[in-house]
Amino acid sequence: MVLTLILGVITGLALGLTGGGGTMLALPFLVHGLGLPVHEAVAVSLVAVGAMAFIGALARLRAHQLQLHLGLLFAFAGMLGSPIGALVAHQLPEVALTAGFAALTLLVAAAMWRRAHGPLPTDSAPLPDNALLRNAACRFDPGGRLRLTSQCLRLLIPAGFVTGIVSGLFGVGGGFVVVPALVLIAGIDIRQATATSLLVVALVSLSGAAGAFAGGVRVDPWLVTAFAGAGVVGLELGSRFGRRLPERVTQRGFSLVLVLVAGALILIPLLTHGGVR
C-alpha cells in the first residue's frame, strides 16, 4: 500500500508539472511497480488519471483559467473514441500493448524536447489580442467564449476523437495531444491549454474506463482509490512547483524521464523472459 501511495504521488506530481504528459508514468508504475497485468493496469490508470485531472480541472475552473466550452467540445469527441480504444486494448496481447506504449512514450518525449527548444507561445497577451488566436481556426467572442465555426469543428472533432482512442488504448489521459492541439487549432496560450486539457483528460479517461469495464476488465477498488487519492496530493504539489519552475526546464527534464521509462518498458520484459543474458 505504501508503494501504491508513493507511485500515485509521483504520477500526480508529474501531471501537475507538465500537464497531460504526466499521465505517461501511470501505466509503467502500475505494471512494473505494482505488478498488475497490463489490461488491468490500463483500466486503473484511466480511473486514477481521470480522477486526478478532474480535481485539477475544478481548481482551474474556479481560477478562470479554463476554456470550458472548448474543453467540453474536445472532450465530447474524445469520449466517443476512448471506449473504442479501451475495447481494442482488451483484445490485444500484452506484449503488443507494451511495445506500442513504449513507442508512444518515445514520441511524446521527442515532442516535448522539441517544444522545449523552440519558441514558446506567449501567455502575456490578453485573449482577444493574442497573435495565435488571430491565426487560429476557432474564434471567440469579446468575452472569451468559443464561437463555433465549420473550420474549427473540422479540426477539433477529429483531434479529439484520435486523442480518445489513444487514451483508451494505453490508459493515458492524452493531454500530450490535447495541449498542442488546443494551442494550434484554438489559438489559446499554453497555460490556458494546459488548464483546459485537464478537463478533457478527466472526461476522456473516465469514458475509456467505462469502455474497459464494459469489456470485462475488473480492478481492485481499494488500489484505485489509494493510487488516485495519492495522485491528487501530488497534483496539487506539482501545480504549485510548476508555477515557480521555467516551463522549458520541466519539459526537458520530463522528456528525459520518458526516455528512461520507454527503455525500461523495452528491457524489463526481455530480462524477465530471458531474452537478454
Q: How confident is the model at residue 250 (pLDDT cuts 50, 70, 90)?
A: low
Q: From the CB of residue 120, how many other CB atoms can be counted at a distance below 10 Å?
A: 13
Residue 118: predicted pLDDT: 60
Residue 5: predicted pLDDT: 93
The span from the CA of 143 to the CA of 76, in Å, is: 23
Q: Give strand ranges (E) for the chain.
A: 139-140, 146-147
Question: Whose CA is closest to 259, among 84, 105, 78?
Answer: 105
The span from the CA of 56 to the CA of 34, in Å, is: 25
Question: Whose CA is closest to 189, among 155, 230, 144?
Answer: 144
Q: From the CB of residue 164, how many other CB atoms can be counted at a distance below 10 Å?
A: 32
Name, in order, each residue with C-beta under 8 angstroms of 171's C-beta and a sequence gap of 6 or more. 26, 27, 41, 42, 43, 44, 45, 46, 49, 89, 208
Given the C-alpha cell 491565426, which residue does it identify? 135
Q: Grid coordinates in use for 57?
A: 480541472
pLDDT tens figures, 160-191 = 898 889 888 887 767 777 877 887 788 777 77
What are the Cα distances from residue 242, in Å, to 18, 213, 250?
Answer: 8, 34, 8
Residue 122: predicted pLDDT: 46
Q: How confident is the model at residue 205 (pLDDT cuts 50, 70, 90)?
A: confident
Choice between 56 and 147, residue whose per-residue pLDDT is larger: 56
Report the range of poorest mean pLDDT among 120-129, 151-160, 229-238.
Answer: 120-129
Average pLDDT of the segment spanning 120-135: 47
Choice between 131 and 252, residue whose per-residue pLDDT is larger: 252
Quote the longest CA-to-CA distance of the chain.
Answer: 64
Residue 270: predicted pLDDT: 59
pLDDT tens figures, 221-232 = 899 899 989 988
The span from the CA of 218 to the CA of 181, in Å, is: 33
Collapsing DSSP to helix, strand or coil, 220 comes out as coil
Percentage of residues of the chain with pLDDT beyond 70:
81
Question: Whose CA is closest to 97, among 231, 269, 232, 221?
Answer: 269
Average pLDDT of the segment spanning 122-143: 57
Choice between 55 and 175, residue whose per-residue pLDDT is larger: 55
Every domain of the chain and the residues it spans:
2-272
Residue 242: predicted pLDDT: 65
Q: Grid coordinates in use for 114?
A: 522539441
Q: How confident is the model at residue 102 (pLDDT cuts 50, 70, 90)?
A: confident
Average pLDDT of the segment spanning 242-258: 69
Given the C-alpha cell 487514451, which residue does it identify? 167
Model pTM greater than 0.85? no
Q: From the CB of residue 173, how many other CB atoms can be counted at a distance below 10 Å?
A: 35
Name, in order, each residue with C-beta under 8 angstroms of 94's C-beta and a sequence gap of 6 or more. 37, 38, 39
Collapsing DSSP to helix, strand or coil, 271 comes out as helix
Choice between 129 and 256, residue whose per-residue pLDDT is larger: 256
In terms of Cβ atoms closer than 10 Å to its own Cβ (0-12, 13-18, 19+), residue 207 is buried
